[in-house]
Amino acid sequence: MAIRGLVFDAYGTLYDVQSVRAVAVELCGEKGELVTQLWRLKQLEYTSLRGLMQHYEDFWSVTRASLEFALESVGLTPSPSLCEPLMQRYLHLDLYPEAREALNSLKDRKLVILSNGSPKMLQALTEASGIAHLLADVISVDLAKTYKPNAAVYALVEPSIGMAKHEILFVSSNSFDAIGAKHFGFNVAWIERGGGEAAPADSNVSPFEFFRLLRGRAETLGSTADFLLPPLLSEPNARRAGGMVV
């Protein structure tokens, strides 16, 4: 089966959401690590809740609301002096070290981003990281007015990329996104960024370890990715999970 196009998730797949940590620690001191993890977890929860309620607000608004929740939950006031630098960091997240090389190596195929991010956020990210020229399109869920893993989001891809599902490989490190894309009908590669590590010895874990345990494992809801990839996005390192041949 020939794969002609690749669709990438942005947050956590191409861009490191943990790269807000340094600013969070600088501004929030010893609570910065906890703020970092609570912020991301609440951000994902709010996208799911808004999707279920069918009450859409864009990802910038969701990200700000989840940041304010995280700050207040650890006893910090969500003042502009805290929120503005952290929100700006979300427009300049670090590209994972291997992502640029991987995209360059795949540029003979059509490359697209499909993301929960708002158009403004995604434009800022792709331009700041210097990968905009490698992408055929950057698709925001804003067009569907809902969030992943709603099928209406994945349905945005085929008209944009001009290909059928079986010609597309969807790549994500977010397990909920991977099973959503698989359930929709795409070929899927899941990047195991947080998987494969030893289980904790006891319940005394760091905020990041807790995040990894919750968000870094494959979901057990009946849909599995076709390929499991280590952080380095390269075909020789892929392990087939469902027997598909690319």
Residues 141 and 117: their CA atoms lie apart, in Å, by 7
Residues, the chain, total? Answer: 246
Q: For residues 59 and 141, is the Cβ–Cβ distance under 8 A?
A: yes
Does 94 participate in catalysis according to the annotation? no
Tell me which of 9, 58, 142, 226 is the catalytic residue: 9
The tokens for 183 are 């359930």
3-state secondary structure the chain: CCCCEEEECCECCCEEHHHHHHHHHHHHHHHHHHHHHHHHHHHHHHHHHHHHHCCCCCHHHHHHHHHHHHHHHCCCCCCHHHHHHHHHHCCCCEECCCHHHHHHHCCCCEEEEEECCCHHHHHHHHHHHCCHHHCCEEEEHHHCCCCCCCHHHHCCHHHHHCCCHHHEEEEECCHHHHHHHHHHCCEEEEECCCCCCCCCCCCCCCHHHHHHHHHCCCCCCCCCCCEEECCCCCHHHCEECCCCCC
Phi/psi region, residue 223 (left: phi>0; alpha: psi -120 to 50; beta: rest), is beta
Residues acting as catalytic residues: 9
